[in-house]
Amino acid sequence: MYSLLKKEIQGFLGSLIGYIVIIVFLTIMGLIMWVFPGDTNVLDGEYASLSSLFNMAPWVFMFLIPAITMRLFADENKTGTIELLLTKPITDLQIIGAKYIAGFLLVLFSLLPTLIYFATVYYLGAPVGNIDQGGMWGSYLGLLFLASGFVAIGLFSSSLSDNQVIAFIIAVFISFFTYIGFDFISSLDLLGGIDYLILKLGINEHYISMSRGVIDTRDALYFLSLIAFFIMLTKLKLSSRNW
């Protein structure tokens, strides 16, 4: 598993994909937070806050993470190397785990430079350090959980096709639906008391909860369950080759 993980990371960093993803994410967030005028501009705001980062990052990740994960299995399916990979002395879960961790690490690498934004806002505060650090670290943790869920969705989507573009589209659609789709359905107020349960099925509700700086085990369990669900679907798809 370690050798496969190393291979996947080298595949990202040995090509332009990894660097393009990191640069695009930081450029988009930098423009939104510091250049474009409006409510999302930190300098135009009255408070030292990174709320614009945590409000906009999920939407950016909704497209960037599928771009990262679309090749993980689709490329293997297209070239036929998936058959060779499955004959190696490692389990399906180890294969999935190595690819999943590689995708997540690339997302983590793209997030680390945003700590510069935190340092900037920290020193821009009046007085210095006048920022809600509990809410900020909770938001970072929530963003990591959200990204982890999107990576699991992208991994599953990549296993469904040998075409990277199709895998990308499927991942974007599922990510969009799980992030905001359940909120929309519950807002229609068609099912009475069930609407609240539908709302809780969506990522956004739990992400907002964690962004308040209060880490609830129910939110953590939700994200862990979401990740496990799509990893199991991916395993089921790989196992279907033997049916």
Annotate 61-76 with DSSP letters as a single string. Answer: HHHHHHHHHHHHHHHH
Split at pLDDT 50, 70, 90, the class of 199 is: confident
Q: Which span out of 83-87, 110-114, 134-138 was modeled with the highest average pLDDT?
A: 110-114
Q: Is this prediction's pTM over 0.85?
A: yes
Q: From the centroid of its chain, how far is CA 15?
A: 21
Task: Name 4's Cβ contacts closer than 8 Å, sequence gap at least 6.
Answer: 85, 90, 94, 95, 98, 99
**What is the arithmetic mean of pLDDT over 35-49?**
70
Split at pLDDT 50, 70, 90, the class of 126 is: low
**What is the arithmetic mean of pLDDT over 3-9?**
74
CA dihedral 16, 166, 53, 115 (to 10 degrees): -30
**What is the arithmetic mean of pLDDT over 170-175?**
95
Whole-number pLDDT of residue 2: 64
Whole-number pLDDT of residue 138: 83
Whole-number pLDDT of residue 44: 66
Residue 243 pLDDT > 60: no
In the chain, % of residues over pLDDT 90? 24
* Burial 90-105, CB ≥16 within 10 A → b, else e: bebeebbbbbbbbbbb
Q: In which element (H, E) is residue 19 found?
A: helix 16-30
Whole-number pLDDT of residue 47: 66
Residue 232 pLDDT > 90: yes
The per-residue pLDDT of the chain, averaged, comes to 83
Residue 233 pLDDT > 90: yes
Residue 94 pLDDT > 60: yes
Residue 112 Cα distances to 9, 25, 105, 108, angstroms: 17, 11, 11, 6
> Within 13 Å, how many C-alpha atoms sit on residue 63's CB side?
7
Residue 204 pLDDT > 80: yes
Split at pLDDT 50, 70, 90, the class of 152 is: very high
